[in-house]
Amino acid sequence: MAEPLVRIFDTTLRDGEQSPGVSLNLHEKLEIARQLARLGVDIIEAGFPIASPGEMAAVQAIAAEVRGPVICALARTRRGDIDAAAQALRTAERARIHTFTSGSRVHLEHMLRLTEDQALEMAVDAVRYARKFTDDVEFSAQDVARADPAFLVRLYAAAVDAGASTINVPDTVGYSTPGEFAGIVGFLRERAEDLNPDVIVSVHTHDDLGLAVANALAGVEAGALQIECAVNGIGERAGNCALEEVVMALLTRRDHYGRAVAVRTEELYRTSRLVSKLSGMVVQPNKAVVGANAFAHEAGIHQDGVLKERSTYEIMRPEDVGVPETRLVLGKHSGRHALRERLTALGYGLGEAEFARAFERFKELADKKRGISDADLAAIVQAEVVAAAPEVYRLEYFQVTAGNTTVPTATVRVALLRSLSGADAGGGPGPVRGDACAAVQESATGDGPVDAVYRAIDRAVGREFRLDDYALRAVTGDKDAIGEVTIRLSDASGRTATALGASTDVIEASARAYMAAVNKLCGMPEARPGTEAAALAAGERQV
């Protein structure tokens, strides 16, 4: 008999986007949703449409374009929320409305200011109302781990009775332990199945105690057939159950769990990189499955073992999760054909213009670095081709003087490629605004060389930006490794952009990332209060 399928419900774009400091724009959300469809998740929770016009627009765009997974929208147990969710999902191939309340007294009394009976009544009304728009209705009660089990049974039974086809059991604050959580899930599942044997029980776990994946797996052992998770485990506070970890645990230990998963695991690494780049949330090197060290063997005894027989120290193969093999085959004598083949093997199907850009950067890199690995190539192409915004400004060159006895000073030359209008032109007396193809040179000093370059760029474009986050990682372990810089930048009107830069020179990588973020901000619509852009800029969302 075939093993029961555990559905993967991805909430990267909803709960994941609630990570502090993360704000994805519509274009970025669509790109992630397309990749999630390629990955083969069963359900994409695309957003919370009532939260802002930007959320509404993003869910609408995903529902209209992305085919394959069910597209889900979140709604509180209020008719207005459900109307917004239904409207956002109108063009979805398959639509799910996910309505939620809270189960614990602390949430009901202090946050929702509802009695248990009022919460239950609203839940029943919300599920019934959502069923008018779709048969696929999911119901959740936040904070089950701290709730009274007797109330939970009443609440979930009422939701199933009202027509919920999936009941989701969230450990909202990451408080539970695997044994305890399995108990709650098993208990609720038995009572729900008495009412509707086809109901799907889902688990939604948070990582406050580092137990999100363990708790989700315990839920599966107690009969859950859906796991809610986010790529790289991003999300509120310590995050959500990490999709790549829970999927690989289920598959690697299929002998133990006896469950199937429909995800195409070879897409996991690429999905992780994309989410990391667009969210600006850097993946720690020792992160399970997708971290830079996940398949690296340092100790001599381990290396020896792996060389003799991989399974001595590897329980998964890097190729199973799509980690690019490090093969030092490309160098400065490699031509277009070799590069095209390598990029195709890495899964990058680039158009002519994109390929030309990739080739140009490859040649620049090959002049500086002897052997170019797949990881190097992926870093450059992802940063400067796939995730690049259309150029408004181009950094023509930069020069830096730095050292422990000098004040760091940078000179940059920046060209304006497209003329700007209105607020995007900045407002200050910038020297290049409005002059298509004009270029300007500026210098600045700073606390360090990167700071000096950033100040000089601000001067050159005639605007000041705020650097909200900066992270640097080495793509490989060598001394001549490529440095990959991820930054988050915001402007005076509160719009934020995340961008990447990659180079063997970390100052150049930093400058490239900054320029890319500036280009993204300059390409965004003006954030007037009440507009979609303002909502996106403010990253309005709630739960």
* Contacts to ligand KIV by CB under 6 A: 15, 100, 140, 142, 168, 170, 172, 204, 206, 543
Using left for φ > 0, alpha for ψ between -120 and 50, and beta otherwise, residue 40 falls in: left
8-state DSSP, 391: P
Stretch that binds Zn ion, among 15-23, 174-182, 241-249, 259-267 (CB under 5 A): 15-23
In the bound state with ligand KIV, the residue whose beta carbon lies nearer, of 126 and 410, is 126
The item of ligand KIV, Zn ion, none sharing an interface with residue 9, based on CB under 5 to 8 Å by kind, is none
In the bound state with Zn ion, the residue whose beta carbon lies nearer, of 59 and 294, is 59
In the bound state with ligand KIV, the residue whose beta carbon lies nearer, of 168 and 498, is 168
Residues 56-95, interacting with Zn ion (CB under 5 A): none
The item of Zn ion, ligand KIV, none sharing an interface with residue 543, based on CB under 5 to 8 Å by kind, is ligand KIV
Give DSSP secondary structure letters for 472-523. Answer: EEESSSSTTPPEEEEEEEE-TTS-EEEEEEEESSHHHHHHHHHHHHHHHHHH
In the bound state with ligand KIV, the residue whose beta carbon lies nearer, of 14 and 488, is 14
Q: How far is the CB of 205 from ligand KIV (least distance, A)?
A: 8
In the bound state with ligand KIV, the residue whose beta carbon lies nearer, of 15 and 374, is 15
Burial of 390 per CB tally in 10 Å (0-12, 13-18, 19+): exposed
Task: Show the tokens assigned to 18.
Answer: 């609630």
Residues 144 and 170 sit within 8 Å (Cβ to Cβ)? yes
Q: How far is the CB of 10 from Zn ion (least distance, A)?
A: 13
Counting every residue, how long is the chain? Answer: 543
Task: Show the tokens assigned to 117.
Answer: 């009976």
Task: Show the tokens assigned to 126.
Answer: 């919300």
In the bound state with ligand KIV, the residue whose beta carbon lies nearer, of 59 and 515, is 59
Residue nearest to Zn ion (CB): 15
Q: How far is the CB of 468 from ligand KIV (least distance, A)?
A: 24
Q: How far is the CB of 242 from ligand KIV (least distance, A)?
A: 15
Binder to Zn ion among 15, 28, 442, 458 (CB under 5 A)? 15
Q: How far is the CB of 359 from ligand KIV (least distance, A)?
A: 44
3-state secondary structure of 16: helix
Phi and psi angles of residue 326, each rounded to the nearest 5 degrees, phi first: -90, 100
Residues 157-196, interacting with Zn ion (CB under 5 A): none
Q: How far is the CB of 175 from ligand KIV (least distance, A)?
A: 11
In the bound state with ligand KIV, the residue whose beta carbon lies nearer, of 279 and 510, is 279
Q: How far is the CB of 350 from ligand KIV (least distance, A)?
A: 37
In the bound state with Zn ion, the residue whose beta carbon lies nearer, of 98 and 455, is 98
Task: Show the tokens assigned to 36.
Answer: 């999630």
The item of ligand KIV, Zn ion, none sharing an interface with residue 142, based on CB under 5 to 8 Å by kind, is ligand KIV
Residues 513-542, interacting with Zn ion (CB under 5 A): none
The item of Zn ion, ligand KIV, none sharing an interface with residue 100, based on CB under 5 to 8 Å by kind, is ligand KIV
End-to-end CA distance of the chain: 41
- Name every residue whose Cβ is closer than 8 Å to that of residue 516 and which is 6 or more positions away in sequence: 383, 384, 387, 388, 389, 499, 500, 501
How many other C-beta atoms lie within 10 A of the C-beta of residue 253?
13
3-state secondary structure of 433: coil
Nearest to 97 by CA among 65, 35, 50: 50
Is residue 138 a contact residue for Zn ion (CB under 5 A)? no
Residues that bind Zn ion (CB under 5 A): 15
